[in-house]
Structure 1
């Protein structure tokens, strides 16, 4: 396990409910497209890796698929079990999965590669459990980020806060280009055939209170940065955030945040 993995486990510990209240609805957007790209239908044996609160697993169950789901965080496993009661939900940490070779017709992962320290090793493991001819579909956040994705980070920077030393970034040798070509090449390098990638663009509608709730609860890297600051600095970050929200607030007071993700897919 890398230092990045250890940091991720610490950041997400017991955070399932807070995630569901804040960033969960944002991350649910690509799920229908993800299931379509993986060819998920009635009877398909599916693995949802990094299931989080079980949104994709529940959607796959709704299509009549035979679903297994895993997550590295126990609180996520508990919530996913409630949200997708017909799925086989287990605790497991990439790149080691408790399944036999060729166990699944399709593997999906919604933003899971954003949270693993060795994406290539993770992909090889996902390829191992996918049967020959089976499909894989995965999402990551695109870089450079869309304007809505940078709002919280801009507020942190405006308060003069940098990334703390205790939050390691992905090692350069483990990273990959977060664009269509780079993501497709990552899948091809793991042995997937017909690897391709497309960009997903949408506007996430939320409220300033809900959006601030994520970092205030310590969700994700941005939340770990915010929560590591003294109270007066947190208040400064929040003040900058509230001022910057005006750029994205419509006449009804709704926060409209443009987001961009990548969805890559291929065949084992």
Structure 2
């Protein structure tokens, strides 16, 4: 299947950035992992596929449960990092929606925030369904909309600095998008042929620091990082100044940040 402009932009955004991701956003994305694995009923002996493994947090947690783990990611630096983080996992380079596995090869399939990063979410879910055995479990997470206050902090700083999204930084096509709600994500699974689909909202406060929260985007991580990286140095300085000012509402007495976040978790049966 031909990749979309969104897919191509995502590949550029993450190229070579595993270390920068691991130093910041990876801790944020680790919060739902236990619930994600529970939703997919991952335990000892489970043949699990972790799609979009990133730096291997889900894969490592599943191995600790005794699962037999295969993990894939579209970014080579992530594959290298995940292989180190999850020894014992079979970690491979692969891109949705074309996975190199047989029909029904896995007892369970999970994707922690991977659906946020594909140009055709419905095709991606159909492929995850294909490689899940009949009766097996599938579970995925995405960021909720509207976004929680902590998730919008960096975007607010960019907006306050007068920066707008350039037209050549593509968003997901309207016909490929879906409601980022419990019902919307569950419907995505149902549309992909899964049964007993349901969704829930996960909320947590992510503890970090101004320096850690700034470092990833400053290194070009994710779409927000790509937007910042395109700016001349004076504008980046203005974004940083606005970010520090806006961070005050989330600053704890010990000087750290406590950022409210919300994600959606959906599960279904093949």
Q: What TM-score, normalized to structure 1?
A: 1.00
Helix, strand or coil: the match of 2:119? Answer: coil
The aligned counterpart of 1:71 is: 73
Q: Which of 91, 98, 101 matches 1:99?
A: 101
Q: Which of 139, 143, 146 matches 1:144?
A: 146
Helix, strand or coil: the match of 1:210? Answer: helix
Matches of 1:166 and 1:238 in 2, distance apart? 23
Q: Which of 127, 130, 148 matches 1:128?
A: 130
Matches of 1:204 and 1:214 in 2, distance apart? 15
Q: Does 1:213 align with 2:215?
A: yes
The aligned counterpart of 1:55 is: 57
Q: Unaligned 5+ residue runs, structure 2?
A: none
Q: Which of 3, 6, 9 matches 1:4?
A: 6
Matches of 2:127 and 2:253 in 1, distance apart? 48
The aligned counterpart of 2:19 is: 17
After TM superposition, give the deviation of residue 126 of structure 1 in Å. 0.4
Matches of 1:81 and 1:128 in 2, distance apart? 25
Matches of 1:154 and 1:89 in 2, distance apart? 37
Helix, strand or coil: the match of 2:150? Answer: helix
After TM superposition, give the deviation of residue 165 of structure 1 in Å. 1.7
Q: What TM-score, normalized to structure 2?
A: 0.99
Matches of 1:27 and 1:250 in 2, distance apart? 21
Helix, strand or coil: the match of 1:236? Answer: helix
In the TM superposition, 1:1-268 aligns within 5 A as 1-268=3-270
After TM superposition, give the deviation of residue 166 of structure 1 in Å. 1.9
Matches of 1:37 and 1:180 in 2, distance apart? 14
Helix, strand or coil: the match of 1:148? Answer: coil
CA RMSD of aligned residues (A): 0.4
Q: Which runs of 4+ in 1 moved over 4 A?
A: none
Helix, strand or coil: the match of 1:149? Answer: coil
Deviations 1:174-223 (A, max 9, x none): 00000011000000000000000000000000000000001100000000
